[in-house]
Structure 1
Amino acid sequence: MTTILDIAKLAGVAKSTVSRYLNGGSVSEPTRQKIERVIKETGYIPNAFAQSLKAKQTNFIGTIVPRLDSFAASRTVMGIDDELKSLGYQMLMSNTDQSVEREIETIYNLANQKIAGVILLATVITKEHLNAFREVGIPTLLVGQEHTEVPCLIHDDFKAGYEMGKHVLSKGHKRIAYLGVGEHDIAVGVKRKEGFKQAMAEHGPCEVAYFETSFSMQDSFRVSPKMIETYQPSALVCATDNIALGALKGAYSIGMNVPKDLSITGFGGYEVTGIIHPSLTTVNFHFKAAGKMAARKMIKLMNGEEVNHLTRMDVELIERESVDNV
């Protein structure tokens, strides 16, 4: 059976371009001719599900997630699914494996299946995302990232960073390391760090050094031992619970005791952080509640009701065993 990918290869264009063409989006005249020629030669028939729904609006809501092994994403999706079912809608989920190209392609593919709306658990919003939103012309909601052009639901990352910064300083720590992620991620890489910096500025004096890793627990475990030995902080604030778990193992690998020798904190409120030893001081993000809120907001958008452009979920600091008094 011929697929969209086959059509794209034979026409010498991107798969997303073929999806856009099939969905009625704009493509150049030469590109349109190439795609139509290949479709005619191969006898390609568009997705049967999409064809059968051509004249209808479905009760499917497309939910796009960047990865499946994320606690935050899985809990958010659980909330979306639970709430949609209770309201008589169904969720159609697609994983993009942290590929921006696949994310944009999925927007067109979902629109081609006549889904009623798209909820995107976003890590970054590019011009290509915005173009896709405009071209498909269906209600779209961002979860986790903020943008002026698209309705969005976010967690209060600035407050989370600020509260954690205040907490660590209140325990007497004066030499602190912050292990964050790249600033391409506005929520975690920018807002969370800005909140932490604000706390440092208001409640210092202290020495702070900023380091960077990925969201991977393994990467954190790899980089944290050298960072700890070189900078010798009394407290290490990690931008996510996964990063904190990797750093915790990294600290143990060089013979350090947590929290006696080094205090470690995270962000997220993952379940595992409450049962490990020492239990992790963190900021709880209400992911499942955010998913339910996102579903309700999407239904309102689909029905043409007025909604707040920005919805901000509150956060909650959880003090546990991994931070010691100095």
Structure 2
Amino acid sequence: MKKKMTMQDIADMSGVTKSTVSRYFNGGYVKDETREKIKSIIEKYNYEPNAFAQSLKAKQSRIIGVIAPCLDSTVTSRTMMAIDDYLRKENYMSLVINTDHDEKLELKYMESLWRMNVDGIILIATQVSEAHCALVKKMDLPVVFVGQKFKDGISILYDDYHAGIKVGELAAEKGHRDIVYIGVMESDQAVGVERKNGILDGLKHKGVTKIELLHADFSFDVAYEKVKKLLMKRIPDMIIAATDRLAFGAYKAIQEKGLRIPEDISLVGFGGYEISSLLTPKLTTIRYDSDTAGYIAAETMSKLLKEEPVPKVQIVGYELLQGDSIKEM
């Protein structure tokens, strides 16, 4: 018996994705040239789509799934607000889901959104595993990763490595030689690896080699406990925290020890949270342009849905917010 042609067959012959063929049948946006190519193949092979399968899919949901690792991060909330604002102007609705940094939930919700027939997914990612790659390959809809590099697709990245170098060099230029870095798990390529490597390289470029590494998660409480234990043994020149939240945990431990910032110990973070400027002394921190990251992510999704070309990787910048938490040695 001759095998029945499928939508995937049409996609392969047309040189497009299955999702493009699906949009053709469901009345979604497809470029004129592509539309004619698909149409000619359908006519040539007398293809008829499965009526039942077609009835299960709406033309376009006008919904974009936005998956976030948490809802209480200033950087994440800024990014999501920018995404939602852009998509709303494009007549799309954002469906936001929180995973609490749980990879299994992340994968589960990605698949759920796909089966709900959303038009696309924006993932504010904490890591990219082989499971992510396999799932995205299976799904016939556009996916944009924010904050982590996705080798097989589209990524919006922060310049973590060079921001790290900036902080490392600043610490050394201020005369600090005994540094403690409190970071996160290396499964997070951006913060756990790139940011850390930038800091270490920036310090080494300036001749600083005494660097102690403390490992935490993204929580205030764990950072507080780690620094509290550290200060029971010794007092370094400076603590560099991978995020402002970790810096806040360190801040509390330092003050409870009866030490002064920056007179007894310097402190710097990453994130640029507004609350950092309310501390006394004000925290020196790196602020990433998360509003721009959200805008670019939403704009990229819109272009993908219109089949317009987009770069595989786009880099978002940062700035150093000078506070009063670093002293001159």
Question: TM-score, normalization: structure 2?
Answer: 0.81
1:149 paired residue among 144, 148, 152: 152
Counterpart position of 2:269: 266
Report if the CA contact (8 A) 1:80-1:294 is conserved: yes
Distance 1:316 1:258 in 2: 22
Report if the CA contact (8 A) 1:177-1:235 is conserved: yes
Secondary structure at the aligned position of 1:278 is classed as coil
TM-fit CA distance, 1:53: 6.6
2:189 paired residue among 186, 190, 195: 186
TM-fit CA distance, 1:253: 1.0
- Which blocks of at least 5 consecutive residues in structure 1 are unaligned? 1-50
Counterpart position of 1:104: 107
% same residue: 36
- Alignment partner of 1:320 is 2:323: yes
When residues 124 and 205 of structure 1 are mapped into structure 2, their CA distance, relative to the original with a 3 A threshold, is closer
- Alignment partner of 1:134 is 2:137: yes
Letter in 1 for 2:220: M
Distance 1:260 1:126 in 2: 43
- Alignment partner of 1:62 is 2:65: yes
Report if the CA contact (8 A) 1:64-1:95 is conserved: yes
Report if the CA contact (8 A) 1:251-1:257 is conserved: yes
Counterpart position of 1:226: 229
Letter in 1 for 2:90: L
Secondary structure at the aligned position of 2:229 is classed as helix
Distance 1:144 1:288 in 2: 13
- Which blocks of at least 5 consecutive residues in structure 2 are unaligned? 1-53
4+ runs of 1 displaced by more than 3 Å?
none
Counterpart position of 2:303: 300
Counterpart position of 2:290: 287
How big is the alpha-carbon RMSD for the aligned residues of Structure 1 and Structure 2? 1.6
Counterpart position of 1:121: 124
Distance 2:137 2:275 in 1: 40
- State which structure, 1 or 2, has the greater radius of gyration over its C-alpha atoms: 2
Q: Which is worse superposed, 264-273 or 101-110?
A: 101-110
Distance 1:297 1:237 in 2: 34
TM-fit CA distance, 1:303: 1.4
Counterpart position of 1:73: 76
2:258 paired residue among 255, 258, 268: 255
TM-fit CA distance, 1:52: 8.0
* Deviations 1:191-241 (CA, angstroms, capped at 9, x unpaired): 001101111121114421111111101111111022134242111101000
* Deviations 1:256-282 (CA, angstroms, capped at 9, x unpaired): 111100000000101100111111000
Distance 1:205 1:63 in 2: 41
Distance 2:232 2:302 in 1: 51
TM-fit CA distance, 1:173: 0.8
Counterpart position of 2:85: 82
